[in-house]
Chains A and B, each alone.
Chain A
């Protein structure tokens, strides 16, 4: 099956610093990737849709200046959490579709961010 990787798998940073999370499709090209956030014991919430070569589309309530998304190539999307605060501590997961006519999405293993 299709493989999506994320790096790092976990990160601890100090309040006020920025953190970059990478999402890669390893064996397929993804023109669109998705970024989700999941707080403990809660469901996944879509943050934004990352489009290769264009600006990301953010969901309502998600600050685009705080969560910078760059989709520089067909296999890489990055999420940068700027000026992180403890309330940004969460599990960040990316996903991508393999086939344009399929609903199935493949998820990365996730990145656990802890802001101290």
Chain B
């Protein structure tokens, strides 16, 4: 079946530094979604990308979908302590398949 790998698995950054997580699929995806899960919490939907090469921004967050629709990235500019959590790329129309996730910790 389809597999979605994320790198890095863990990322520790100083507050104010940038952060990027990458998502790679073995097959072409019809869409990609990103979710954030705070420690002890549940996943919360961030965004959905559908078009090849699509770029979307949400304040300090920039999401990209690769031209071949096999990879995606999430970039956070000037991280804040509220950005702490695990970021998952997810694919699927109804049944969701979660990527392996990237756990972000912030050093104040």
Seen from chain A, the residues whose Cβ lies within 8 Å of a Cβ on chain B are: 32, 34, 41, 43-46, 49, 93, 95, 97, 103-110
Contact = CB atoms under 8 A, between A and B. Distances in A.
Contacts, number: 43
A23 B102 CA distance: 27
A43 B42 contact: no
Interface residues of B, number: 20
B41 interface: yes
Contacts of B85: none
Contacts of B100: 43
Interface in B66-103: 88, 92-101, 103
30 contacts: A32-B94, A34-B95, A34-B96, A41-B103, A43-B88, A43-B99, A43-B101, A44-B43, A44-B96, A45-B98, A46-B95, A46-B97, A49-B94, A49-B95, A93-B42, A93-B43, A95-B43, A95-B96, A103-B31, A103-B33, A103-B48, A103-B92, A103-B93, A104-B45, A105-B45, A107-B42, A108-B42, A109-B42, A110-B41, A110-B42
Contact of B94 (A43, A44, A93, A97): A97
Nearest to B33: A103
B44 interface: yes
B87 to A, nearest CB: 11
A110 B33 CA distance: 20
Nearest to B4: A43
